[in-house]
Structure formats: C-alpha cells, structure tokens
Amino acid sequence: MTSDGGRRPTPRRPMHFGPEQLEAHGGTLPGPAETTEVAHQTAAILVGAGRSAHDPEVTSRLVALVDDLGLSTVADLWSARPARSLPGALWRLYALREWVRRSPEEASREYAAGIRFTDVAHAIAGIPEPPEPEELQRVADRILAGVFDGDLAVALERASAFCAVIAAGRAELANDRDEADPDGASDLTRTAAALLATGEDLRVCAGLWRSGDLD
C-alpha cells in the first residue's frame, strides 16, 4: 500500500501469469494462495500508482479501467476477495460505477425513491436533486476518482451512502409493486438488502483505510 500516513509500502510490481508462468506451473493455473497474492498486490499497486501520479489523465484512465479490460476481467481478479479488503472494495466500486453507467435511468429512479428515507446518506453521497441519470453517472465516476486523487476513505463513505440511498429506493419500489408483481417486488427487496450490506462493507473499509489496516 502507499506510504499514506505510515501505511505499509506498496509492493514493487504485480505477479503476472502469462504462458511462460503457466508452463512453469506445469501448465496449470495459479493456486488459491497465488491468486490471493495477485489480487492484493494488484489492488495495492493500482491505488498506489494512482495516488502518487497526481495526474488527471492517469486518474481518468484508472476510473475507466473496466471500459478497457471488461467487467469480467476485473471480477476474475478481485471479486472473490473479502468485501472488507482493498481488492474487495475496489471490485465493489467498479461494479457500482459500471451499473450506473449501463443503467442510468434505473439508478436515477431508485435513487430518487430512496432520498426521503435517507437524508444523511443522501447528503454524504453528494448528488443534487433531482438525481438526473447523467448526474448519477458523473457522481459515480467522481466517487471512484476519489480513490486515486482524493481522500480514499471519503470516496468509500460516499459510495457507502450511495448504496444506502439506492437500497432504500429499491425497498420503497418493492413495496409499491408488492400486490401487482410479487416476484418483482421480492427481487427488489433481495437486491436492496444485498446493496445495503455492500454499503456497510464499504463504510467499514473507510475506517480500515484510516487506521492503515485495509489491505
């Protein structure tokens, strides 16, 4: 990790598993321990490189990482790591940004439905009213950019608050749909609970980053 406030130093380079490395492993994929090491090393290096660059162009490229690599590649790298870890937090931030990018109208509708139940979270998320789709996309980018060019803990807290508002909105929309579409309402309720848990994980990660324990 970067030397931010006495944190552990960033590893010098990630482990790569190309054809030569696979051959060295007898043609097999890296084992669980190696996969875990790769996930944590790459997360630390990505954050460290972004925070040390002080370059808006670098930040923009890191925010758009999924656009270049594809969501499945990023998922393969980080999604299996614990939610309360640096790679786990990064995966959730990129996945959240990708959802808003792909479904801005849905995000806007759910966010709008949740605002009146989550005054504090709405204020922390920092999204103007009404929450227009294009504005939500910009804020999702800005939250992720904060990982690299701002206070990472604040970025995690904003993402956590964003999740809380969306979760409240889904729960409200589920209540509205309960009689006409019970299956759809059940799906909304389930994903609202999952998103609320994601928001709590991100909030805890913010505290871990401040104490130097997010790795």
Please list, in sequence order, all residues whose beta carbon lies within 8 angstroms of the beta carbon of residue 187, skipping any fewer than 6 positions away.
Answer: none
pLDDT of 20: 44
| 141 half-sphere exposure, CB direction, 13 A CA radius | 17
Do the beta carbons of residue 111 and residue 169 sit within 8 Å?
Answer: yes
Q: CA quadruple 22, 28, 34, 36: dihedral positive or negative?
A: positive
Other CB atoms within a 10 A radius of the CB of residue 176 amount to: 12
pLDDT in tens, 112-133: 999 999 999 999 999 999 999 9
Residue 13 has pLDDT above 80, yes or no: no
SS3 content of the chain, % helix, strand, coil (to 5): 75, 0, 25
Residue 38 has pLDDT above 90, yes or no: yes
Q: How far is residue 212 from each of residues 56, 152, 153, 192, measured CA to CA in Å?
A: 25, 12, 11, 30
Q: If pLDDT is split at 50, 70 and 90, which confidence band does 76 have?
A: very high
CA-angle at 130, arms to 129 and 133, nearest 5°: 120
pLDDT of 17: 36
**pTM (2 d.p.):** 0.85
> Which tokens go with 206?
């913010």
Share of residues in the chain with pLDDT > 70 (%): 86
> Which tokens go with 143?
């939250």
**Phi and psi dihedrals of 49, rounded to 5?**
-65, -45
Q: If pLDDT is split at 50, 70 and 90, which confidence band does 35 have?
A: confident
